[in-house]
Amino acid sequence: MANKIHAGEDPGAAVAHWAKRCHLAGRAAMEAMLRPFDLGSTQWYVLHHLAQGGPTPQRELVEQLQVERATLSAVVAVLVRKGLVEQVPDRMDQRQKRLQLSAAGVRRWKTLPDLSAIRRVAFDGMDAQALAAAADVLRTATARLEQFMEKA
């Protein structure tokens, strides 16, 4: 099917196709860059959020990372087992867990590659207006799909 989509056929289908292909290619590049560090992309996103935002309630990361609660629980369990993340009871509600980088997690974060290289490879040298238009189209399509799902 991927080879049958041409620019002249259905522009919406072509945009959706290439948005997905770009996402998958970026994710593959990210996985390849993180493999030597024994990290997956979702693990990196958890570390990134904690490194940038500090200690965070685990339930907030579910929304921020847009993953299922069970998926995040499994990822956090692996990061805790690796000694990179600590789960501490929330001060206000002891039943809730607050996540924070451990000392080893802080050290590991400092050694990880700069993943912005992926974005530079993909987009550097492209026309700024074309990138802005692409972002606008994808932002609008995403909002429409999210509204559609709220009604479903």
Round to the nearest angstrom and report the end-to-end CA distance of the chain.
28
pLDDT band per the 50, 70, 90 thresholds, residue 8: low
* pLDDT tens profile 26-59: 999 999 999 999 999 999 999 999 999 999 999 9
Cβ-based neighbours of 44, under 8 Å, separated by 6 or more: 30, 34, 112, 115
pLDDT band per the 50, 70, 90 thresholds, residue 3: very low
Go through the domains of the chain in sequence order and give each one's CATH number.
40-111 (1.10.10.10)
Residue 31's pLDDT is 96
pLDDT at 104 over 80: yes
Q: Which helix (H) or strand (E) holds 152?
A: none
Residue 97's pLDDT is 87
Helices 41-53 and 69-81, packing angle to 10 deg? 80
pLDDT at 95 over 60: yes
Taking residues 96-124, report their average pLDDT.
Answer: 95
Counted residue by residue, the chain has a size of 152
pTM for this prediction? 0.83
Contact 101, 51 (CB under 8 A): yes
